Amino acid sequence: MEKKWWHSSVVYQIYPRSFMDSNGDGIGDLNGIISRLDYLKELGIDAIWLSPVFKSPNDDNGYDISDYKDIMDEFGTMKDMENLLAESNKRGIKIVMDLVPNHTSDEHMWFVEARKSKDNTYRDYYIWRDPVDGHEPNELGSNFSGSAWEYDETTGQYYMHLFSKKQPDLNWENEKVREEIYDIMNFWIDKGIGGFRMDVIELIGKKPDEMIIPNGPKLHDYLKEMNKKTFGDKDMLTVGECWCADPEIAKMYSNPDSHELSMVFQFEHIGLDQIPGKDKWDLRPLELTELKKVLNKWQMAFDGDGWNSLFWNNHDLPRIVSRWGNDKEYRVESAKMFATLLHGMKGTPYIYQGEELGMTNIRFDDINDYKDIETINMYNDRKSKGYAVDDIMKSIYTKGRDNARTPMQWDDSANGGFTTGTPWIKVNPNYKEINAQSQINDPDSIFNYYKKLISLRKENEVIVYGDFIPLLEDDKNIYAYERVLGDDRIRVVCNFTDKEVECDYADANGVELISNYKDYKDGILRPYEAFMVRL
């Protein structure tokens, strides 16, 4: 397989609204990011995935874009963006932009025009249907509750929106739409970006009348066309968000021979703590054996014909240390355990802002403190259907997107040093104990543990390209595996529980690369103990 820079890279995701506020308006911004680039350089990451920074009325925090070639007022100006690119590139950090090609804002000029009349030039940029018996054209639901169809008075038709009604879906069957998106991509490529993360890319080939939404018939034709007309001859990282990908589908996207994307985000492991057939708010406990089955399958799925991305959390998901770890007594141990497990694997690791500090989920008592449209819509929907408020809040505490969206905790000053003003969403009150400043110079901190894991990937080719060999597949408490490249063999051993467990691999038996305890205990792994050794 041809080697690529992104095979050995580690990517850091920035959610700009919550990263760093430079001007005291309570909203993170581009100049704030620039002021923290040295922190990221110190951590050792290679690229930043920047969640959307384009003009947006912020119905869905920037995933509703009204101008793809301009910057959101709250975040800064195009000059600031160019400055961010220059300052990042100076430090050897690439910027991967977030492309939202499935839908725009209803305030985008295309949609403002399209809804004016049935014969408007832009009408066919979106998906319109006549009412059926005075109702929605079909049962299709929005990911943010309710129907995916919104009636538009002016022309007496419904338009389709798989997310909020302020996010009308683009009609990818229209060649002009595709050309517009490619033009936008080339605009950003010319500015010197390092790649694209593609929002819900699996939806662009949809056939709404046939109820085919992800993985539509033309999806891969579109991606091949996009590749050819935009980044195909550039050395870029492209990652598609694909909730419904299995390994075979992932190969279609990421096999170098198919000329589509570098890799996809797959979410099979992310659904393991929800009741099958229901949605993410319907909770059940995670079984480690199931997690191993899924992740090991993905680890062994590709042999030069695809590439994995590796992540535990992002701006849509709860924080891993709170979700499947222990964010109280064993916060530091469990955060390091999850880091070890993931960063020993084959693929490109993604770190979500604050994960490197062991930041935790949030619990607001008052629903009005929540800002996320998905959370608020679900709350109202379930309340109107008679769910108990306590149960709804429990789902939000476990799965709500705002868990990961509270401001970065930089130091122990007011608002964690994120802003001198009033933050757009409340800061987690634990910022006095959990913050970057207290970790940077502490050799035992989570931050320095991540830093070491990142440098291990740079120094050991076996971590990048080695084969994956699962161990103890039926064990309910321990996640262990080996990586092998030629004569080089490393072993990763992780106790997934808050108890001591017996383990044949508990003694290092080799050269330690990293460990979250200072020593070893004969035949025993202590709570969340994790290490990586060269055999």
Q: Which of the 8 DSSP states describes residue 442? A: -
Q: Are 429 and 414 in contact (CB under 8 A)?
A: no
Q: What angle in degrees, to the nearest 10, is found between the helix axes of 331-343 and 446-459?
A: 10
Instruction: Specify the residue, 60 or 74, whose C-beta has the smaller distance to ligand TEU.
Output: 60
Instruction: Specify the residue, 201 or 462, whose C-beta has the smaller distance to ligand TEU.
Output: 201
323 binds, among Ca ion, ligand TEU, none (CB under 5 to 8 A by kind): none
Residues 29-48, interacting with Ca ion (CB under 5 A): 29
CB of residue 48 to Ca ion, shortest distance in Å: 18
Instruction: Specify the residue, 310 or 317, whose C-beta has the smaller distance to ligand TEU.
Output: 317
Cα–Cα distance for residue pair 468/193, rounded to 1 Å: 32
Examine residue 265 and tell whether it contacts ligand TEU (CB under 6 A): no
Query: Both tokens of residue 310?
Result: 């590796």
- The one catalytic residue among 21, 169, 241, 260: 241
Site string for ligand TEU, 241-260 (x = CB under 6 A): x-x-----------------
Examine residue 25 and tell whether it contacts Ca ion (CB under 5 A): yes
**Piece of the chain touching Ca ion by CB under 5 A; list 24-32, 214-222, 237-245, 277-285:** 24-32
* H-helix or E-strand spanning residue 249: helix 247-254
What residue type is assigned to position 439 of the chain? Q
Q: Which of 4, 8, 23, 136 binds Ca ion (CB under 5 A)?
A: 23
Total interface residues for ligand TEU by CB under 6 A = 14
Q: Are 204 and 172 in contact (CB under 8 A)?
A: yes
- The one catalytic residue among 59, 106, 199, 482: 199
Instruction: Specify the residue, 249 or 453, whose C-beta has the smaller distance to ligand TEU.
Output: 249
What residue type is assigned to position 147 of the chain? S
Query: Both tokens of residue 490?
Result: 């490393």
Q: Are 85 and 192 in contact (CB under 8 A)?
A: yes
Per-residue b/e over 44-61, b at no fewer than 16 CB within 10 Å?
Answer: bbbbbbbbbbbbbebbbb
Examine residue 63 and tell whether it contacts ligand TEU (CB under 6 A): yes
Examine residue 68 and tell whether it contacts ligand TEU (CB under 6 A): no
Examine residue 202 and tell whether it contacts ligand TEU (CB under 6 A): no
Q: Which of 17, 19, 20, 21 binds Ca ion (CB under 5 A)?
A: 21
Judged on CB neighbours under 10 Å (0-12, 13-18, 19+), 441 is exposed
Instruction: Specify the residue, 28 or 347, whose C-beta has the smaller distance to Ca ion.
Output: 28
Residue 241 designated active-site:
yes
CB atoms within 10 A of CB 377: 16
Cα–Cα distance for residue pair 31/119, rounded to 1 Å: 43
Residue with tokens 């009348």: 209
Instruction: Specify the residue, 11 or 81, whose C-beta has the smaller distance to Ca ion.
Output: 81
Examine residue 268 and tell whether it contacts Ca ion (CB under 5 A): no
Instruction: Specify the residue, 25 or 136, whose C-beta has the smaller distance to Ca ion.
Output: 25
Examine residue 151 and tell whether it contacts ligand TEU (CB under 6 A): no
Examine residue 528 and tell whether it contacts ligand TEU (CB under 6 A): no
Rg (CA), the chain: 23
60 binds, among ligand TEU, Ca ion, none (CB under 5 to 8 A by kind): ligand TEU
Examine residue 54 and tell whether it contacts ligand TEU (CB under 6 A): no
- Tell me how long the chain is: 535
Query: Which residues have C-beta within 8 Å of that of residue 11, sequence separation ≥ 6?
Result: 45, 46, 47, 48, 49, 96, 237, 348, 349, 350, 351
Examine residue 478 and tell whether it contacts Ca ion (CB under 5 A): no
Phi and psi torsions of 403, nearest 5°: -50, -40
Residue 512 designated active-site:
no
Query: Both tokens of residue 369?
Result: 């403190």
100 binds, among Ca ion, ligand TEU, none (CB under 5 to 8 A by kind): ligand TEU
Q: Which of 21, 29, 60, 169 binds ligand TEU (CB under 6 A)?
A: 60
Residues 267-286, interacting with ligand TEU (CB under 6 A): 280
CB atoms within 10 A of CB 139: 10
Catalytic residues: 199, 241
Q: What residue ranges bind ligand TEU (CB under 6 A)?
A: 60, 63, 100, 143, 163, 199-200, 241, 243, 280, 315-316, 374, 401
